[in-house]
């Protein structure tokens, strides 16, 4: 199964849109079709504990130069997957209207094998802005 087909099935299943902006690496040869997200982020409302990913946007910046490697806009899901097949150190920013921005800095994503990464699972507990 090709990378585009696998990515299409994942995004359709999870209801997310993934836009890779820079720094994408493709696996060749024996690694064709193998891919994992660097980040799996569960988004919840801190006060209620309910899923809050709908309408959130995640930005992933690679260190040390903080180049944007992925931007993910969530539609109707609890979990956001981002930065496919990326490894290294990253800063993660999640924004959603009505909530304070959520960040995690200098997060290490390790290489799992010659062509996949070890996915880092994060939980973003969003705090609503006071009106």
Q: Which domains does the chain have, with CATH numbers?
A: 3-25+38-126 (2.60.40.1120)
Retrieve residue 43's tokens. 């988004």
Nearest to 57 by CA among 81, 38, 39, 73: 73
* pLDDT tens digits, 24-55: 444 445 555 568 899 999 999 999 999 999 99
Write out residues in the chain with pLDDT < 70, as ranges: 1-34, 76, 131
Using the Cα atoms of residue 127, residue 90, residue 108 and residue 71 in order, give the sign of their dihedral. Answer: positive
Round to whole Å and give the CA distance between 66 and 68: 6
Query: Is the pTM for the entire model greater than 0.85?
Result: no
């Amino acid at each position: 199964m090709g990378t585009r087909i696998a990515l299409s099935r994942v995004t359709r299943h999870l209801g997310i849109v993934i836009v890779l902006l820079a720094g994408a690496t493709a696996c060749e040869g024996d690694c064709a079709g193998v891919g994992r997200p660097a980040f799996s982020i569960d988004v919840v409302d801190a006060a209620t504990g309910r899923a809050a990913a709908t309408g959130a946007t995640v930005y992933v910046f690679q260190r040390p130069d903080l180049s944007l490697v992925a931007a993910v806009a969530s539609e109707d899901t609890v979990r956001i997957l981002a930065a496919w097949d990326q490894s290294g150190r990253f800063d993660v920013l999640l924004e959603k209207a009505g909530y304070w921005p959520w960040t995690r800095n200098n997060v290490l994503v390790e290489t799992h094998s010659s062509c996949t990464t070890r996915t880092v699972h994060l939980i973003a507990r969003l705090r609503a802005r006071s009106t």
